[in-house]
Amino acid sequence: MNKPQLMHYEKPKHIKDYPCGPAAPAGTLVVKNAGWRTRKPIVHKEKCTGCCLCYLYCPEGTIFKENKKVGIDYDFCKGCGICARACTHKAIEMIKEGENGEY
């Protein structure tokens, strides 16, 4: 359950410089959340059992273990809401981006 590493990525200037495969190795990301997320997941720690089901479903790998519960890396979360749907304990709530004063 490692957090993804941010890799320095120089955007190619010419079409011939683009790689023919993935631009970054597994376990790395090339950009942080670009600011287009409209909703974000909030973990209600008192309801969370630490079962990690949300971690298994998150397509971005942005959920990590934190003091026997889970935390979310908002630098990389895209706000898809899959974790909230997957959590059988209803411990994750999707709120409007910025609603809690944090982005």
Count of chain residues binding ligand SF4 (CB under 6 A): 26
Q: For ligand SF4, which is the closer residue by CB, 17 or 57?
A: 57
Does the footprint of ligand SF4 cover residue 3 (CB under 6 A)? no
Report 55-94 residues binding ligand SF4 (CB under 6 A). Answer: 58, 60, 62-63, 70, 72, 77-83, 87, 89, 91-92
> b or e along 27-65 (b: 16 or more beta carbons within 10 Å of the residue's beta carbon)?
eebeeebeeeeebbbebeeeebeeebbbbeebebbbbbe
Figure out which of the listed residues 7, 31, 51, 95 binds ligand SF4, where binding follows CB under 6 A: 51
Positions that interact with ligand SF4 (CB under 6 A): 41, 43, 48-54, 58, 60, 62-63, 70, 72, 77-83, 87, 89, 91-92
